């Protein structure tokens, strides 16, 4: 399997612009997680889905952030409008019910908001 795929790998944008991050989980996995990693705050769970349904979005920082999972093979994380403090590396991870809670991470999207 190709593993978790994220795009783009790098994104540079200006404050106020909309940013969309994309994730394709490992085929057959039924859980999908979005994380944010910064030097100051470490690794934070933003939201996770089970069978395409959002289960826990308590980590989403504010209304500017939204996530969707329209089908089992695709998810998006959108920031609108973006702010400089959103600059971070965003990771997507997936896991499956029978996998002993092991999560498999994508390579991340490095976002810089100017």
Partner 1 sequence: GNSVTQMEGPVTLSEEAFLTINCTYTATGYPSLFWYVQYPGEGLQLLLKATKADDKGSNKGFEATYRKETTSFHLEKGSVQVSDSAVYFCALSGTQGGSEKLVFGKGTKLTVNP
CB of 58 to partner 1, least distance (A): 10
Alpha carbon distance 50, 95 (integer Å): 10
> Which residue stretch of 20-28, 60-68, 70-78, 98-106 sits at the interface with partner 1 (rule: CB under 8 A)?
98-106
Alpha carbon distance 61, 52 (integer Å): 21
Cβ atoms < 10 Å from Cβ of 51: 11
Contact status: 25 vs partner 1 (CB under 8 A):
no
Alpha carbon distance 59, 61 (integer Å): 6
Contact status: 100 vs partner 1 (CB under 8 A):
yes
Contact status: 91 vs partner 1 (CB under 8 A):
yes
**Residues forming the site for partner 1 (CB under 8 A):** 4, 31, 33, 42-43, 45, 48, 50, 55-56, 91, 93, 95, 100-108
């Amino acid at each position: 399997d190709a593993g978790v795929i994220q795009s783009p790998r790098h994104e540079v944008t200006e404050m106020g612009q909309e940013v969309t991050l994309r994730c394709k989980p490992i085929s057959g996995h039924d859980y999908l997680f979005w994380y944010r990693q910064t030097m100051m705050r470490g690794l934070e769970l933003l939201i996770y889905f089970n069978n395409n349904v959002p289960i826990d979005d308590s980590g989403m920082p504010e209304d500017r952030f939204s996530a969707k999972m329209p089908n089992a093979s695709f998810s998006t994380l959108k920031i609108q409008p973006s702010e400089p403090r959103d600059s971070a590396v965003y990771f997507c991870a997936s896991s499956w019910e029978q996998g002993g809670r092991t999560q498999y991470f994508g390579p991340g999207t490095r976002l810089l908001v100017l």
